[in-house]
Amino acid sequence: MQEFSTSFDSLRKKALIVAAVAGVIAIIGAFINPARFFQAYLMAFIFWSAIALGSLVTLMIHHMTGGVWTYLIRRPLEAAAKTIPWVGLMFIPIIIGMPHLYEWSVPANVEADKYLQFKAPYLNTPFFVIRALIYFAIWGGLAHLLTRWSYEQDQTGEALLNKPMRVTSGIGIVLYAIASTFAAFDWIMSLDAHWFSSIYGPMFMVGHGLTALAFMLLVLVSLAKSEPLSTLVNQDRYHDLGKWFFALIILWMYMMLAQFIIIWSGNLPEHIVWYLRRIGPAWKTLAALLVAFHFLAPFLILLSRLTKQKAPVLIKVAFGILFMRFLDLFWLIAPELNEGVFRVHVLDAIVPVALGGVWVYFFAGYLSAQSLVVKHDPRFEHVLNGGEGSHE
pLDDT along the chain (392 residues), means of 10: 66 95 97 96 98 97 86 94 98 97 96 94 97 98 96 86 94 97 96 89 95 96 85 88 95 92 81 87 93 96 94 96 97 90 94 98 93 81 58 41
Q: What is the pLDDT of residue 386?
A: 58
Q: Are the C-beta atoms of 97 and 39 separated by less than 8 Å?
A: no
Domain boundaries, the chain: 2-372
Q: Are the C-beta atoms of 135 and 182 separated by less than 8 Å?
A: yes
Q: What is the pLDDT of residue 158?
A: 83
Q: What is the pLDDT of residues 91-122, one digit of tens each?
A: 999 999 999 999 999 999 999 999 999 999 99
3-state SS assignment for residue 373: coil
Q: Are the C-beta atoms of 200 and 185 separated by less than 8 Å?
A: yes
Question: What is the 3-state composition of the chain as percent helix, strand, coil, each rounded to the nearest 5?
Answer: 80, 0, 20
- Mark 157-171 as b/e (b = at least 16 C-beta within 10 Å): eeeebbeebeebbee
Q: What is the pLDDT of residue 382?
A: 65
3-state SS assignment for residue 304: coil
Q: What is the pLDDT of residue 383?
A: 67
Three-state secondary structure string covering 236-252: HHHHHHHHHHHHHHHHH
Residue 337 burial (C-beta neighbours within 10 Å; 0-12, 13-18, 19+): buried
Question: What pTM was estimated for this model as a whole?
Answer: 0.94
Q: What is the pLDDT of residue 392?
A: 41
